[in-house]
Amino acid sequence: MKKSFKQGLVIGGIAALSALVIKRYKQAGDSSEGFSNPAALDRQPSIDAKRDETEVGLTQLDSIHRADWQANGFPQTHAELERLEKEDNQ
């Protein structure tokens, strides 16, 4: 992949992740469990499960990790990983 495209992915990923963290922090409000206790986030269902069917069954912690992977362009399947490797080799 081209260097400028990779840089764009990184910058876009950081911006998207930052926006997500701010959104989740505001939604958590003043609760004592907030982001200081990841175990509590791993017990609570994803807040986006009602709007996004790919979030159904995920905890809030899983949802945060998933958002991070997507923001940084990590492939979600083995087939996608193989396709990206073939593109890099060409």
The reported pLDDT for the residue numbered 80 is: 81
Say which residue, 5 or 56, is predicted with more confidence: 56
The reported pLDDT for the residue numbered 34 is: 52
CA distance 12 to 24: 18
Residue 18 amino acid letter = S
The reported pLDDT for the residue numbered 3 is: 73
Q: Do residues 11 and 72 lie in contact, with contact meaning Cβ atoms separated by under 8 Å?
A: no
Query: From start to end of 1-90, where are the E strands?
Result: none
pLDDT digits 0-9 by tens, 13-59: 788 888 888 887 777 665 555 556 778 888 889 888 888 888 889 89
Half-sphere exposure of 51 (CA within 13 A, CB side): 4
